[in-house]
Amino acid sequence: MDRAAKYATSSQVILAVLGVIGALYLLKTILAPIAFALVLASILSPLASFFRRRLSYGPFGVLTVFLLLVLGGVYLASLAAESLIHAANTLPSDLERLAGQLSGRLTDLIRDQPSLRVILPEPGTIDRLGDTNRALLIEKLSLGLSDFTTWVVQGFIVLVLVIFLLIESEMLTTKVLRFFARTPESSRNARSILDQVTRKVRAYLIARTLINLGVGLVVALGLWLLGVNFALPLGLFAAVTNYIPYIGQLAGGALPALIALGQTGSLGDALIVASMYLAVLGVEGYVVTPLVMGKSLDLNGTTVLIACLFWGYIWGLPGLVLAMPFTATLKIVCQTVPELNRWAELMSVDWQSPTALEGSLDEAPSTAPAKPTTPATVVDKADGVGATRS
């Protein structure tokens, strides 16, 4: 009977997990904006608290933050729209020109060295690939321009959700805890755990965002000094893609290198741009991030890849952007709740649960010298004289 109950419980857990995954996939249109709003609200809550303290009207301070967000979002949206329109007019011609240059160089090389014809592609193939990629690029850019309105609308929805979360955060938190907690003591414990998790998640998100903005500004400055077109949008692109490990960082450096290659037709210029980007990422990954964030939020590579695959499949590009904040939040929760410490240890590189550390200390052999044993002295009740027994 116990065995059947155990299997029934395991089956219920598996069905519940599958149900949650299915709900995340089917409701991604609703849940993705909410997730972005929660992340932004967590990042902006210290700024909203600052305005509440400085201004006499509490909601007005949050509204000020909201208006600043709207103005910044409109400005970034205008920059993105201008860059897309410019790219739609220039990148296809740059790609066609680059294909023509490569075809011409291959023709000259085959003419001078006929023996290389066996290993080199035909120049006509390069021309056809250039024409095909030019048409594909025009189609993708046109789709991007047509979907831009949808992105703007979704961004506005996210901002509206952020303003309500910032205004009603305390009230909503209290009501949610009362809804799920059965006793006042459990409510207090849940509040304490939630406060710890919120502080750690906010610190991580703020640090990660500031680091990514710094990476984007440095990349934009470097591209501007190198004379690459779309320096500022490419810097913003590098800042956003830096949230996505491995794949995003690769895309953030490949796009500027391709634009430099199409702009000048020189492979050396593209390599210089790629080297600059790799240098910025190297300083960020090995100096800035360990110095600012430390190793408390370390995640092993397997966990990162699984998280990117999962959230990328569930929510697409928004899921890839949110994969690391979600995974870091989950690890913080597992570190805070003692019952989940083993999952945090499984996800991390160096972090160990307190119970594991205590076990390792208990199992360590003692290095203190053994004290010499001395014979015990007892009192003989018969004569009251102390006698020594071995």
pLDDT tens-digit profile, the chain (390 residues) = 566 666 677 788 788 888 888 888 898 888 888 988 888 888 888 877 776 676 655 556 556 666 776 677 667 666 666 665 666 666 666 666 666 666 776 677 677 777 766 666 666 666 566 556 656 555 555 555 556 667 777 877 887 888 788 777 777 878 877 777 777 777 777 787 778 778 878 888 888 888 999 999 999 999 999 888 888 888 888 998 888 888 888 888 888 888 887 777 777 888 899 999 999 999 988 888 878 776 556 788 888 889 888 998 898 888 888 888 888 888 888 888 888 888 888 888 777 777 665 655 555 555 544 444 444 444 444 344 444 443
CA distances from 220 to 223, 238, 343, 381 (A): 5, 9, 39, 94
pLDDT value for 117: 65
Tell whether the torsion through CA atoms of 285, 40, 232 and 243 is positive or negative.
positive
pLDDT value for 288: 86
For residue 209, give the nearest of 293, 279, 278 by alpha carbon: 293
How far apart are alpha carbons 343 and 227 in whole angstroms?
48
DSSP tag of 297: T
Report which secondary-structure segment, H or E, holds 286.
Answer: none
Q: Give first-to-last CA distance, the chain, whole Å.
A: 57
pLDDT value for 230: 80
**Amino acid, res. 38:** L
> pTM, whole model, 2 decimals?
0.68
Angle 340-344-350 (CA atoms, 0-180°, nearest 5)? 145
Cα diameter, the chain: 122
How far apart are alpha carbons 28 and 39 in whole angstroms?
16
What is the token pair recorded at 114? 């006929």
pLDDT value for 384: 42
Instruction: Spell out where the chain has E strands.
Output: 376-379, 386-389
pLDDT value for 122: 65
